[in-house]
Each structure stands twice: as C-alpha cells, then as structure tokens.
C-alpha cells in the first residue's frame, strides 16, 4: 500500500490510485480527486458520491452503475454525462472507495 499526498492530505492508495482507507476521505479531498480527472464537482455530483459512500457502508461493496442509477433515480445516460467515460470507476475514485467489481 502506497501513501500519496493529495493537497494537504496524506492518503493510502492501491496500485491504481484508489483510496484504501474509508475514513481518510472528505468532500474537500473529493474535489481534489475529481479535479485530477477533469471533473468539476457540483451538488449533483456530490449527492451521487454521498449515496455511493452510504451504500458502501451498508453493503461492504462498491455499487455498480446500474445500482447507483436505481439508488439515485438518475438515468444511466445521465451518470455517463456527469462522469464521462467510465462513470463507475470515476465515481468510486472520487468517493474514496474500491473500484467496482467488473471494472477494468
């Protein structure tokens, strides 16, 4: 496990840069992580991220994009617009959670 400095925070990350310690995350850190991948967080983004983190605590697993869509009532195509490219992977990265199962 590697320790990276992001802004003023030192965080533990895996080989792909995903946070490995749930409690090291903050919304300020989320903004910095999002900026690193070219996403400017809005309240809609943050709402999705908060729901994703709550679901992770409840299930112990990072939700898939379909589950996130069901939890947030945001259509999958809109999640792709919010988090372009690989939305599941990007949401997990910003939320400080492990990469969802099945993501490459």
Is 103 known to be catalytic? Answer: yes
Q: How far apart are CA 93 and CA 31, in angstroms?
A: 11
Q: Compute how many other C-beta atoms are within 10 angstroms of the C-beta atom of residue 18.
A: 18
d(CA 79, CA 1): 30
4, 35, 103, 104: which is the annotated catalytic residue?
A: 103
Q: Which are the catalytic amino acids?
A: 103
């Amino acid at each position: 496990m590697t320790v990276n400095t992001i802004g003023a925070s030192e965080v533990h990350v895996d080989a792909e840069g995903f946070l490995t310690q749930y409690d090291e995350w903050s919304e300020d850190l989320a903004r910095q992580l999002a900026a690193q991948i070219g996403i400017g967080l809005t309240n809609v983004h943050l709402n999705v991220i908060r729901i994703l983190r709550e679901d992770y605590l409840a299930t112990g697993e990072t939700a898939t994009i379909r589950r996130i869509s069901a939890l947030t009532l945001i259509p999958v195509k809109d999640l792709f617009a919010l988090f372009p490219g690989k939305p599941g992977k990007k949401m997990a990265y910003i939320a400080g959670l492990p990469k969802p199962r099945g993501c490459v």
